[in-house]
C-alpha cells in the first residue's frame, strides 16, 4: 500500500517524497529504488531525529499505527494514517485527541472517498431526490482466501498478519469492515445507531496455524443496522467471496427512488431509479467526473492548515462501531452505538 501512497503523493504538485522508513531493510531499499526516494531510515525515531519533513504517510500494519502516529505527532508532524486508525477505539480516540491538541493535520485513508460515484450518490440522497431513506444494503467482497488474483495468502507475511489476532488484526471486520461502514454511512448520509453483528472464522490450515501465525481473525461478517433516521440496513463482508476481487456495493432505497454505487477493481458505476422511472423500475447510469483524492486533499490541508475529512475523530467513531460489533458477536445481542453499554 505504501507504493500506492508514493505514486499518488508524487503526482501532487508541490509534494516531494524525501524519505522512506521501514524496519525491513530489503523492503526499504526496494521502496526507495522504485520511487526514487533519496533518504531511508530503519525506524521512525531515526527519521524524526533527522527531521527534514513536514508530514508522514503512515502505511505500517494496523497495530503499528498507534505508537508511530503518536510519535510523529509529538515531533510536530502532520499525519495521513492508513485505516483502521488503530486496533481499538480507545487508542483511536487517543490519536484523535493528540492530533487535535497539537493542532496538526490528521486524516485517515478511507480510500473509497475517492470514488466520485459515492460522492455523487451522497449528494443525490442529501438533496432529497430519493425522499426519506428506508433501507440500505452494503457489501464489501474480496476473494483472496479462495483465489490467487493477488497471490497466494499462504506465502506472504503481508497476508498472514491480516489473519492473526496476535499480529494486531481484527480480521475482515477491522481490515475492510471500516471501509464498508464508512461507504454505507457516508453514501447514505446517515449515522449508524444500533448494530447486531456475526463474525465467522473458518479453518484454513492444519491446526489453523501457519508458522508463527495463528489464523484466528475473522474471515467474514454480517451486520444488521439501525440508522439515525430509523432506516434499516444490512452490511456484510467476506474474504471468501469467490468471483469478486475487491468489490464494494451500496444500495440506498428511499420512498421516492434509489441509488446504487458499485466500485470494483476495474471501475465504478452509479445508477439511479427515481421520479417517473419508479413505476417501470428503470435504472439509469449517471456519469460523474473525478473528485480530488484523499492524497490531494491531505496535501491541500497541510498547505492551508485547515483539516479535511475523513479525520482521525471520524475514524475513531467508526472504530467504536467495529469494537461494538465484536461485543455484539461475543454476547449475541444488539448494541447501541451512542449509549453506554
Ligand atoms: N486504504 C486502503 O485501501 C488500504 C489498502 C491496503 C492496505 N491498507 C492498510 O495499509 C497498511 C499497510 O498494509 P500493507 O498491505 O501495505 O502491509 P504490508 O505488511 O505489505 O506492509 C507494511 C510495511 O510496514 C513495515 N513496518 C512494520 N513495522 C514498522 C515500523 N514500526 N516502522 C516502519 N515500518 C514498519 C513492514 O516491514 C512492511 O514493509 C495497513 O494498515 C492496511 O490496513 C489500506
Residue 176 Ramachandran class (φ > 0 left, ψ -120 to 50 alpha, else beta): alpha
C-alpha–C-alpha distance, residues 328 and 338, integer Å: 14
C-alpha–C-alpha distance, residues 176 and 223, integer Å: 14
162 C-alpha to ligand 1 centroid (Å) = 10
Task: Report, as ranges of residue numbers, the positions in the chain whose pLDDT lies below 50.
Answer: none
C-alpha–C-alpha distance, residues 256 and 276, integer Å: 10
51 C-alpha to ligand 1 centroid (Å) = 22
| Residues with a CB atom less than 6 Å from ligand 1 | 1-2, 21-24, 27, 44, 59-62, 64, 68, 82-83, 109, 111, 158, 175
The pLDDT score that the predictor gives to residue 157 is: 86
Which residue owns the Cα nearest ligand 1 atom 2? Answer: 111
Which residue owns the Cα nearest ligand 1 atom 34? Answer: 22
The pLDDT score that the predictor gives to residue 217 is: 97
The pLDDT score that the predictor gives to residue 341 is: 62
Cell 482466501: give the residue.
Answer: 145
C-alpha–C-alpha distance, residues 88 and 188, integer Å: 25
- Among 8, 9, 82, residue to substitute to test ligand 1 (most atoms within 8 Å of Cβ): 82
142 C-alpha to ligand 1 centroid (Å) = 18
329 C-alpha to ligand 1 centroid (Å) = 27
93 C-alpha to ligand 1 centroid (Å) = 21
0.85 exceeded by the pTM?
yes
C-alpha–C-alpha distance, residues 246 and 58, integer Å: 22
The pLDDT score that the predictor gives to residue 318 is: 95
200 C-alpha to ligand 1 centroid (Å) = 24
Amino acid at each position: 500500500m505504501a507504493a500506492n501512497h508514493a505514486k499518488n503523493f508524487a503526482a501532487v504538485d508541490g509534494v516531494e517524497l524525501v524519505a522512506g522508513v521501514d524496519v525491513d531493510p530489503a523492503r526499504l531499499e526496494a521502496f526507495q529504488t522504485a520511487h526514487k526516494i533519496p533518504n531511508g531510515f530503519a525506524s521512525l525515531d531515526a527519521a524524526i531525529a533527522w527531521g527534514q519533513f513536514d508530514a508522514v504517510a503512515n502505511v505500517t500494519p494496523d497495530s503499528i499505527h498507534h505508537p508511530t502516529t503518536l510519535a510523529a505527532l509529538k515531533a510536530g508532524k502532520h499525519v495521513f494514517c492508513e485505516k483502521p486508525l488503530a486496533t481499538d477505539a480507545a487508542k483511536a480516540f487517543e490519536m484523535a485527541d493528540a492530533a487535535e491538541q497539537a493542532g496538526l493535520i490528521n486524516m485517515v485513508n478511507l480510500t473509497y472517498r475517492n470514488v466520485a460515484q459515492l460522492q455523487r450518490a451522497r449528494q443525490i440522497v442529501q438533496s432529497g431526490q430519493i425522499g426519506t431513506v428506508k433501507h440500505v444494503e452494503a457489501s464489501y467482497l474480496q476473494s483472496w482466501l479462495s483465489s490467487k488474483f493477488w497471490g497466494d495468502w499462504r506465502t506472504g507475511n503481508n497476508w498472514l498478519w491480516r489473519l492473526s489476532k496476535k499480529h494486531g488484526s481484527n480480521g475482515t471486520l477491522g481490515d475492510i469492515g471500516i471501509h464498508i461502514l464508512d461507504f454505507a454511512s457516508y453514501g447514505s448520509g446517515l449515522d449508524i445507531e444500533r448494530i447486531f453483528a456475526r463474525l465467522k472464522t473458518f479453518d484454513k490450515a492444519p491446526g489453523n496455524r501457519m508458522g508463527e501465525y495463528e489464523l484466528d481473525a475473522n474471515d467474514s461478517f454480517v451486520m444488521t443496522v439501525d440508522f439515525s433516521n430509523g432506516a434499516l440496513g444490512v452490511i456484510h463482508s467476506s474474504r471468501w467471496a469467490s468471483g469478486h476481487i475487491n468489490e464494494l456495493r451500496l444500495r440506498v432505497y428511499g420512498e421516492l427512488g434509489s441509488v446504487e454505487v458499485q466500485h470494483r477493481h476495474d471501475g465504478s458505476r452509479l445508477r439511479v431509479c427515481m421520479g417517473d422511472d419508479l413505476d417501470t423500475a428503470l435504472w439509469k447510469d449517471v456519469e460523474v467526473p473525478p473528485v480530488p483524492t484523499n492524497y490531494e486533499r491531505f496535501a491541500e490541508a497541510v498547505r492551508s492548515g485547515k483539516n479535511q475529512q475523513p479525520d482521525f475523530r471520524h475514524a475513531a467513531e467508526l472504530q467504536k462501531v467495529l469494537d461494538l460489533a465484536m461485543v455484539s458477536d461475543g454476547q449475541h445481542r444488539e448494541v447501541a452505538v451512542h449509549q453506554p453499554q
